[in-house]
Structure 1
């Protein structure tokens, strides 16, 4: 069997194992930031919103503090919602997984070009394949694949590597700028694409100009370095323009930048974080969805010392391995690793480390580590040939590494299955993380265990003494236990801690509605909506309050607006019909409006309530789902008749009869329109 055929078979075997490893993750739930970017984000529920995603940052999240412009991510979420017909995790996970597979294939090609450039050996493709395989199957990578909104890391990494692939694989076609287009697409996914400039700079210098890091700082090679910078100028300008556009579209008045740590201490702590990431590549046994590592202020702390020494060793290794052509892939991979971590290391984010940040970093580290190991094996090639058992041991070691990672992925998928399994794991791995205890309590509260939930919240309160959202959750739990005084006190403290956060007002409004205290509920809901006009909890609480106070005009206005942003909101449809009838009892489908028939049923209720324009709007929604629905055109005709818009009524009835010549009601409605028109 030729090496090419064997390589293909091994690749197919890896691909099959990857599918098996991730087979138990496709039904895993939405977690953490998925709530405001997916679950409660009504913008992704309409595929027609896609063009607006590229200009309106409010469509990225239901929470104003997280309004970013990452339109590629939001577009893919909308496509997944459209394909699945709702919030079905399978389609969201499948989408991310397919991109991950595509990334692994691109990495293999990029690694193959780099290793082949530095190493003229028949085993070079195998090194590239194993490096791509280790990354694709790495246990730590499962954190990003399971966390749906972290597809921003997957997509941005995909486009960066795609740009690298186009640049490296097709040098003669660089003049067409295809690699620049790939980079620009990546900017619409996440703010990490500028790292590509660093990678291309060192790729050209290492593998095309045959220079080492030390030679970059000599006067002799100054013009060469300057020439490389000039070659990358078009890419720099394109990425900078698009990146500035995405960043300046954010409303800074409502935006939570997440930058809350002292700069110098944060930088020093990042050295230890880099060390932790590096160790995790070899020993991924302490993964946590939300770590409890905090900024280390004491410069004499052993972790800072270890981190600084690690970064110094990393820099020395980069310089040393760049000196020879044969070892430059190691240097390039280490630069890739370091550069990918710079965006989250230079800015003092409130979260010191996140496991999903390793996704991009490991694309570089996998190349460096696997190539270094491969080079050691090649240097002992004579020993391998002389001792077949040694060769078998190497093959066994490679298979064992991939197999162990596949098992690790399978186990991490189990952790990400539900909110309860995920946050229970966080409390075990990161016991000093108050947010972890709070979210674990939330998962317990979701199944009605308010007593246990309160215990988790109390534990969280010892770690997060001034966290408004924790007080909201304590209020909800106390309300569930009928401890109304405690609930009100918790809501009051939540508002005091974060007077500009809509969440406190929204959940307090919902609680007051449940207590049938409609006047204060209205006040709280309107305050929440003044801070976030699209919050569904606030809108539904406001509608309930307006109905309770019989403020029908406000109810109609709010219900209509809610349906405009969330067409499947059955509560809003009920409230709208109630507003027209000016009474609260309206029978509508109990489930969400998902089919054309659901909207036809709604149109009939609205017609009977005298809401003729809303009846027509419901029929338009029915036609969007089923363009040949004759009933929809007939109901439009009847509504226009009631509005005395005879020409529009006649046109709609004719369309109904074209679709169904034997329609029961369309002939009579058409005759009505024609007679009145005359």
Structure 2
């Protein structure tokens, strides 16, 4: 089922900062390894997960196959662990096999496996399941070594993903299912280390989130809606576990609803209340039902967005472990129903088989969706056409591929959804700039600056756009404003730049800054960069002798005499009054063994008052 995942590449959704653009992925120094244990990374604390990623990189490099292989192997290991956990919990082999089979093939699990950056999920679940198995062995044997092994596994689970804190709730429901007295002294004392570590984990998770900045939905909701939305997410998870239709990577918050949500959202709240009533009412009557509900809830509660911290309402990956509770309930009742008669048993086996086939087919399809950013985001857009992040990241992918027309179309869709989305405006401007549509680029940059007047990069790009549009006065006003605002970046003027006195002040500002960038590169002996900057300026205006002359000087230093001679010829064609032009051309001609022509230029330079020419004549033209 997961063979297609092994052929997938990387996406541009978290795979970038976590793997492909992670500059720490190859740092195996003691300090590099210690970093993961002592620092948060992109608002997360996952030292074990990051070390696994580093090891994969060390073996496979940036080949996506290795990263996907680790995820698939972890999933297969988790299938075995689910079976062991269920069999040890219930001693019902058939139930354990059914739960493990559903866990293995359900398409909602695909996101956690086919997405390279999600490797932390199967990893933390692996350690969590090991901890639960050890804990059951402790209950069965009373030996503290199993308790210790379970606790160590808990620590490793937390080192993989902070969501593992839910294991404490899972232990409570294991105790409940096994008939242990939850408030007995022994049971309570057992939980103290777990609860203490869970509290530390919770504080660490809050600190990690705060270190990177809390991500909240663009739209805020009232108290009533904030109760309804998690209820909708909860029921949606259950529904999609039964019929996995419309699976997608992004489930955005609802758009503006004019103060009212659709009726079925309210219905979800009543369904959640009904589940709570069942949970309480059957506490002493039906351990299977209560354990199933409890295990599902404690493992999904932290990601139900009761307090919004993400710009998505739900995600398939959040049910990777909690689904075990649902699968357990289904499997137990199916087994009981199968014992009611041969006909019913055969019918249920047939229906279960059809369900497994349907789930498996969906899993194969979902694996292929994660092949690359284009397949991923087009799938999201087909199901959630107003998912802003999908259009935005699709635009980013097309930009990286230099498919700028497609990228601009994607960014326009972003702005359709949110006309004031700053990054959308900025990137739309960048894309229009790449398409040489400077009029449109100017409009986007100006809108971006209306949203955020402090966006320096937008202002600088607007400046360059104005230059392309030959709006030199507007460009001069803008660059002077930027110089006042960011004096550290724009205070130095071009020293010694050859700018004709006839230039107006606005154009002087323009060429002065271009020449300064090139001269700085020249002074730092970055001659290729200097040539590139002068070439950019010449593309805008090839009538300026100063630009030809200065680029010629860069070629001269690189001993590219023919290129230097060409540029000096162009400079003299534009301005015959500058002695340095003749002097430098003369030296270039001499280096090309065209001594007679070179000496004539040196003589012309001397007659124009160039003192260096006298020594050069004495040395080269005897």
Query: Scaled by the length of structure 1, what TM-score is found?
Result: 0.64
| CA distance 1:422–1:330, change in 2 (3 Å) | same
Q: Out of 29, 37, 53, which is 2:18 matched to?
A: 37
Q: Out of 163, 171, 177, which is 2:148 matched to?
A: 177
Q: Indicate yes or no: 2:359 matched with 1:405.
A: yes
- Measure how far apart 1:276 and its partner are: 0.8
Give the aligned partner of residue 278 of structure 1: 238
Q: Which protein is bigger by CA-based radius of gyration?
A: 2
Give the aligned partner of residue 316 of structure 1: 277
Q: Out of 426, 429, 434, which is 1:480 matched to?
A: 434
- Measure how far apart 1:335 and its partner are: 0.9
CA deviations over 1:89-119 (Å, ceiling 9, x no partner):
1111111111111211111111112222xxx
Contact 1:31 1:147 in 2 (8 A): no
Instruction: Please list, as runs of the form range in 1=range in 2, the aligned pairs for 1:634-649 lying within 5 A after superposition.
Output: none
Quick one: distance in 1 between partners of 2:447 and 2:159? Answer: 39
Quick one: distance in 2 between partners of 1:468 and 1:507? Answer: 14
- Measure how far apart 1:409 and its partner are: 1.0
Quick one: distance in 2 between partners of 1:153 and 1:97? Answer: 12
Contact 2:228 2:266 in 1 (8 A): no
Q: Out of 317, 323, 327, which is 1:356 matched to?
A: 317
Give the aligned partner of residue 198 of structure 1: 169
Q: More displaced, 275-284 or 454-463? A: 454-463
- Measure how far apart 1:159 and its partner are: 2.3
Quick one: distance in 2 between partners of 1:352 and 1:439? Answer: 18
CA deviations over 1:538-583 (Å, ceiling 9, x no partner):
xxxxxxx99954546xxxxxxxxxxxxxxxxxxxxxxxxx997543
Quick one: distance in 2 between partners of 1:229 and 1:136? Answer: 34
Secondary structure at the aligned position of 2:121 is classed as helix
Contact 1:21 1:407 in 2 (8 A): no
Give the aligned partner of residue 347 of structure 1: 307
Q: Out of 62, 73, 76, which is 2:49 matched to?
A: 73
| CA distance 1:246–1:474, change in 2 (3 Å) | same
Secondary structure at the aligned position of 1:352 is classed as strand
Give the aligned partner of residue 584 of structure 1: 528
Give the aligned partner of residue 189 of structure 2: 230
Quick one: distance in 2 between partners of 1:579 and 1:81? Answer: 40
- Measure how far apart 1:151 and its partner are: 2.3
Give the aligned partner of residue 101 of structure 2: 133
Quick one: distance in 2 between partners of 1:392 and 1:178? Answer: 42
| CA distance 1:246–1:424, change in 2 (3 Å) | closer
Q: Out of 21, 27, 35, which is 1:52 matched to?
A: 35
Quick one: distance in 2 between partners of 1:503 and 1:110? Answer: 54
| CA distance 1:503–1:273, change in 2 (3 Å) | farther
Q: Indicate yes or no: 2:4 matched with 1:23.
A: yes
Q: Out of 83, 89, 98, which is 2:73 matched to?
A: 98
Give the aligned partner of residue 595 of structure 2: none
CA deviations over 1:573-626 (Å, ceiling 9, x no partner):
xxxxx997543389xxxxxxxxxxxxxxxxxxxxxx9xxxxxxxxxxxxxxxxx
Query: Scaled by the length of structure 2, what TM-score is found?
Result: 0.70
Contact 1:331 1:368 in 2 (8 A): no
Quick one: distance in 1 between partners of 2:346 and 2:150? Answer: 41
| CA distance 1:360–1:550, change in 2 (3 Å) | farther
Quick one: distance in 2 between partners of 1:505 and 1:164? Answer: 56
Contact 2:45 2:162 in 1 (8 A): no
Contact 1:266 1:352 in 2 (8 A): no
Quick one: distance in 1 between partners of 2:120 and 2:459? Answer: 31
Quick one: distance in 2 between partners of 1:488 and 1:475? Answer: 7
Q: Indicate yes or no: 2:124 matched with 1:166.
A: no
Contact 1:420 1:443 in 2 (8 A): yes
Q: Indicate yes or no: 2:216 matched with 1:258.
A: yes
Secondary structure at the aligned position of 1:208 is classed as coil
Contact 1:31 1:419 in 2 (8 A): yes
- Measure how far apart 1:488 and its partner are: 4.1
- Measure how far apart 1:80 and its partner are: 2.0
Quick one: distance in 2 between partners of 1:514 and 1:52? Answer: 46
Contact 1:330 1:369 in 2 (8 A): no
CA deviations over 1:400-437 (Å, ceiling 9, x no partner):
33222221111112222121111111111012222223
- Measure how far apart 1:393 and its partner are: 4.2
Give the aligned partner of residue 616 of structure 1: none
Give the aligned partner of residue 249 of structure 2: 289
Quick one: distance in 2 between partners of 1:297 and 1:269? Answer: 15
Quick one: distance in 1 between partners of 2:517 and 2:441? Answer: 22
Give the aligned partner of residue 461 of structure 1: 415
Quick one: distance in 2 between partners of 1:450 and 1:347? Answer: 38
Secondary structure at the aligned position of 1:67 is classed as coil
CA deviations over 1:22-56 (Å, ceiling 9, x no partner):
33443232231222222222122323322211112
Quick one: distance in 2 between partners of 1:178 and 1:358? Answer: 26
Secondary structure at the aligned position of 2:133 is classed as helix
Quick one: distance in 1 between partners of 2:35 and 2:464? Answer: 31
| CA distance 1:71–1:514, change in 2 (3 Å) | farther
Quick one: distance in 2 between partners of 1:490 and 1:580? Answer: 35
Q: More displaced, 503-512 or 242-251? A: 503-512
Q: Out of 353, 368, 378, which is 1:414 matched to?
A: 368
Quick one: distance in 2 between partners of 1:458 and 1:248? Answer: 36
Contact 1:115 1:329 in 2 (8 A): no
Quick one: distance in 2 between partners of 1:490 and 1:330? Answer: 56
Contact 1:21 1:406 in 2 (8 A): no
Secondary structure at the aligned position of 1:45 is classed as coil
Quick one: distance in 2 between partners of 1:169 and 1:395? Answer: 32
Number of matched pairs: 490
CA deviations over 1:280-330 (Å, ceiling 9, x no partner):
001111111112342878577413322112212222333355434xx4233
Quick one: distance in 1 between partners of 2:452 and 2:73? Answer: 40
Q: Which runs of 5+ in 1 are unaligned?
A: 1-19, 61-65, 117-123, 217-222, 531-544, 553-577, 587-608, 610-678
Give the aligned partner of residue 504 of structure 2: none
